[in-house]
Structure formats: structure tokens, C-alpha cells
């Protein structure tokens, strides 16, 4: 690419993962980048209806690239800018909000190549009634014809696009990524004082620590992890850390109290910068969700050198977990299967280090470089189609 290309993104909100990707993209001499955010998460705390709490970020998310925030007053100016700025490619993350559809239509009318980035998946297809399956297929047929290309986040989203008739040559892999360098560096610092941190938390240094970073809501199933811990034959050799909060907290606290479960530590909602501390003191990471199109905490845990265990309803498992090598996948809601997996690690603690080593190797090829390469390939394809 010999000239400078104007690239636009529409995202709901900023996060450490996308901010890092945008910073790196903006550093390329051939890219003139503008990112538009719908939400002000990252600047101010906003209410999360799933958990019932206000959430925010304590990290710098807007440095190193040009970004804008949309308001009701600025939407007309934003839409006009799609044509006025003469973007070479405009990427929209998702398609469920009205502003996404307005962007699609404005880009088409303006002759701006529009690309879709989405974590859409067929994992939950069988849970839909027949009429919804038919409606979704018809909607996808209409919607997907609007786009010049598709930025898939992994195997499942690529398979979903192909299921709805998108040819492979229009699909580019731009994976969901954590900031591997940030998590590895931060976790390494905390691991140097791992024993002291465990003492601070009240956890014995000889315990095998199981970690879950989950919202306390039905979709993420924290109770499944607690009940699997409860069933462990050698529970006295393990501890369970849960980082998160939500509407099920009282139920969880009551269950722990009524069943006199020891060794469970509830740390509540924590800021992003604190998460490496919890990865550092832990030995295994579990994501028990029954609905999770990706699950970035899996990336984070792997970057921190942990074995990962997820359900078959967590999308990242299909790209990042190599069964029996760096982790395990179990049927969603199957507490007995989860219990057996955890017991395997308790009986053979050396597996934690072995699997964790493999996690770091696998995630090292799943970072920002891969994202940037996918975006550059998409830009070149868009230019070639003109």
C-alpha cells in the first residue's frame, strides 16, 4: 500500500483489547484511522443491566489513535462524515443497533465499502424456535448482501458467515484478542510475590487455586463452578476464587453459608488493572457460561500461563483450547464433568504447569499482529474490488 488509506470503525465501547489494536493500526504510515464509539464506557461508569452495577475502566483506552463519541446531537454529523471523509473502508462491529443500520445505509448510498465485524455463531441455533431460525436466515440473506467483506473473530463466526452464504474469499480473520504483552508483564510482577498475595487473601500456599472471572448472572453460571467445587473428593486440597458480581450474589452467598463451604473467596467486581493479580495467584481458570460467543477472559488466562477449562458454549474454546494439551471443554451445565476435570488437576498438580506452558505458546500467535494482518488484507481486497 503506497498511499494513505482512510479507515473507519464503529464500535459500541472501548476496551483494553480493541484500544490496543487501534493504537497499533494507527501507527502504520499507510493508515489514517478514525474510531467512533457509541458508548462512553471507559470515560465514565455506565450501568450494566446484566449485573445491576455501574462498570467502568481504570486504564487508558483512548490514547494513540483518533476517536469520537456519538450522541443524539452528533449522529447527523457522523453520518455525513462517512461520505465527506471519503473512507476507503468502514468497519461496523455488530448489527443489532439502529445506528449500525443507519451506518450501513449511509455507506452504501455514499459508495463507501462497508465491512462487518461480528462474533455471531451457530452455537445457539438449536435453542431457537423454527420461526426465529427462518427469520434470521432471511434477515441475514438481506443484511449480508450489503457488505464488501466480513471480519470474523474466529472459527465459529467464520462458519456462521459461510452458513448464511458468504463466500470464503470475503471473510477475513480478525480475532478477538487480549493485550498479551500487558497481561504477561503484569502477571509476571504479581507472580514474584505470589506467596505473599496468597497470604494476603488468606489462601494457603499449598492449595490448588481454581479461578472464575464471571458475572454473577444465569448466563455465566457461577453456581455451576461452586457446585463442582463442592463435589470435589479432595476439596481440602483446593480453593476457589470468584471475581465478579451481579444479581445472583445473595443467592451465592446464601448457598455457601447454608452448605458450610470453606475455601471459596468472593472478591466482587474488580477493575481491569487488578485482574492480573488474580490470574497470578491461581492455578486453573474456568469459564462455565452457557451463552458466551467468545469470552476474552480465556485469552487473558492463557496469556498468564493458566490451563483453561470452558463449556462447549464458550466460543473461544474452539480456537484456543487444544483438548488435553492446554485445557478441556465440557458440556455446558454438566457439573459432574466439570468436577472430574478439576479432580484431574488436583490429583496431578504438575498438569497445571504443563498445560499453562502450552497456553502461552498457543496464545502467542493470537494477538494484535494477527488482527492487523487481517485488517490490512481486508483493505487490500476492498481496493482490488473497486
Report residue 201 as a C-alpha cell.
Answer: 487473601
Q: What is the pLDDT of residue 56?
A: 59
Report residue 272 as a C-alpha cell.
Answer: 481491569
CB under 8 Å to 377, separation ≥6 — which residues?
172
User: With contact defined as beta carbons under 8 Å apart, do 232 and 208 qualify?
Assistant: no
196-227 in b/e form (b: 16+ CB < 10 A) is ebbeeeebeeebbbbbbbbbbbeebbbbbbbb
CB under 8 Å to 188, separation ≥6 — which residues?
none
User: With contact defined as beta carbons under 8 Å apart, do 272 and 297 qualify?
Assistant: no
Sign of CA dihedral 286, 16, 58, 96: negative
Query: Alpha-carbon distance 271 to 279, whole Å?
Result: 14
Q: What is the pLDDT of residue 43?
A: 59
Report residue 237 as a C-alpha cell.
Answer: 486440597
The gap from C-alpha 166 to its chain's centroid, in whole angstroms, comes to: 24
Report residue 378 as a C-alpha cell.
Answer: 481486508
CB under 8 Å to 248, separation ≥6 — which residues?
216, 217, 218, 222, 223
Query: Alpha-carbon distance 138 to 91, whole Å?
Result: 22
Report residue 306 as a C-alpha cell.
Answer: 493458566
The pTM assigned to this predicted structure is 0.92
Of the candidates 194, 193, 247, the one whose C-alpha atom is nearest the C-alpha of residue 219 is: 247
Q: What is the pLDDT of residue 71?
A: 85
CA atoms within 13 A on the CB side of 62: 18
Query: Please, what are the domains in the chain?
Result: 5-177+367-385 (3.40.50.2000), 180-363 (3.40.50.2000)
CB atoms under 10 Å from CB of 295, counted, come to 25
| Cα dihedral: 81, 84, 89, 90 (round 10) | 10
Give residue-wise pLDDT tens across range 85-141.
889 999 999 988 999 999 999 999 999 999 999 998 999 888 888 888 888 888 888
* SS3 labels along 19-80: HHHHHHHHCCCCEEEEEEECCCECCECEEECCCCEEECCCCCCCCCCEEEECCCCCHHHHHH
Judge residue 300's burial from the number of C-beta atoms within 10 Å of its C-beta, 0-12 exposed, 13-18 middle, 19 or more buried. Answer: buried
Flag residues of the chain having pLDDT under 50. Answer: none
Report residue 234 as a C-alpha cell.
Answer: 479432595
Report residue 323 as a C-alpha cell.
Answer: 483438548
Amino acid at each position: 500500500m503506497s498511499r494513505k488509506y482512510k479507515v473507519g470503525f464503529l464500535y459500541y465501547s472501548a476496551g483494553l483489547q480493541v484500544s490496543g489494536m487501534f493504537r497499533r493500526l494507527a501507527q502504520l504510515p499507510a493508515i489514517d484511522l478514525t474510531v467512533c464509539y457509541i458508548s462512553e464506557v471507559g470515560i465514565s461508569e455506565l450501568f450494566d443491566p446484566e449485573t445491576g452495577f455501574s462498570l467502568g475502566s481504570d486504564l487508558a483506552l483512548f490514547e494513540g489513535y483518533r476517536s469520537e463519541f456519538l450522541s443524539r446531537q452528533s449522529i447527523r454529523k457522523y453520518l455525513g462524515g462517512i461520505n465527506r471523509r471519503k473512507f476507503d473502508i468502514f468497519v461496523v462491529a455488530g448489527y443489532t443497533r439502529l445506528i449500525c443500520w443507519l451506518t450501513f445505509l449511509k455507506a452504501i448510498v455514499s459508495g463507501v465499502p462497508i465491512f462487518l465485524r461480528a462474533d455471531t455463531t451457530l452455537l445457539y441455533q438449536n435453542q431457537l424456535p423454527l420461526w426465529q431460525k427462518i427469520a434470521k436466515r432471511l434477515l441475514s440473506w438481506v443484511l449480508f448482501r450489503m457488505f464488501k467483506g466480513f471480519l470474523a473473530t474466529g472459527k465459529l463466526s467464520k462458519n456462521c458467515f459461510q452458513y448464511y452464504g458468504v463466500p470464503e474469499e470475503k471473510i477475513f480473520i480478525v480475532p478477538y484478542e487480549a493485550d498479551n504483552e500487558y497481561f504477561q508483564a503484569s502477571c509476571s510482577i504479581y507472580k514474584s510475590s505470589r506467596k505473599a498475595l496468597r497470604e494476603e487473601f488468606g489462601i494457603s500456599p499449598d492449595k490448588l487455586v481454581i479461578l472464575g472471572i464471571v458475572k454473577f448472572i444465569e448466563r455465566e453460571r457461577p453456581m455451576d463452578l461452586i457446585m463442582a467445587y463442592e463435589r470435589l473428593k479432595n476439596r481440602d486440597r483446593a480453593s476457589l476464587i470468584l471475581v465478579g458480581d451481579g444479581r445472583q450474589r445473595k443467592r451465592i452467598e446464601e448457598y455457601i453459608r447454608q452448605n458450610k463451604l470453606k475455601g471459596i473467596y468472593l472478591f466482587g467486581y474488580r477493575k481491569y488493572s487488578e485482574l492480573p493479580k488474580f490470574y497470578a495467584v491461581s492455578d486453573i481458570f474456568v469459564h462455565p457460561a452457557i451463552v458466551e460467543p467468545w469470552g476474552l477472559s480465556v485469552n487473558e488466562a492463557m496469556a498468564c500461563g493458566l490451563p483453561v477449562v470452558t463449556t462447549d458454549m464458550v466460543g473461544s474454546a474452539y480456537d484456543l483450547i487444544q483438548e488435553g494439551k492446554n485445557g478441556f471443554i465440557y458440556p455446558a451445565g454438566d457439573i459432574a464433568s466439570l468436577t472430574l476435570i478439576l479432580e484431574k488437576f488436583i490429583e496431578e498438580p504438575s498438569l497445571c504447569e504443563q498445560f499453562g506452558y502450552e497456553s502461552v505458546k498457543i496464545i502467542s500467535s493470537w494477538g494484535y499482529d494477527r488482527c492487523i494482518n487481517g485488517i490490512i488484507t481486508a483493505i487490500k481486497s476492498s481496493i482490488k474490488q473497486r
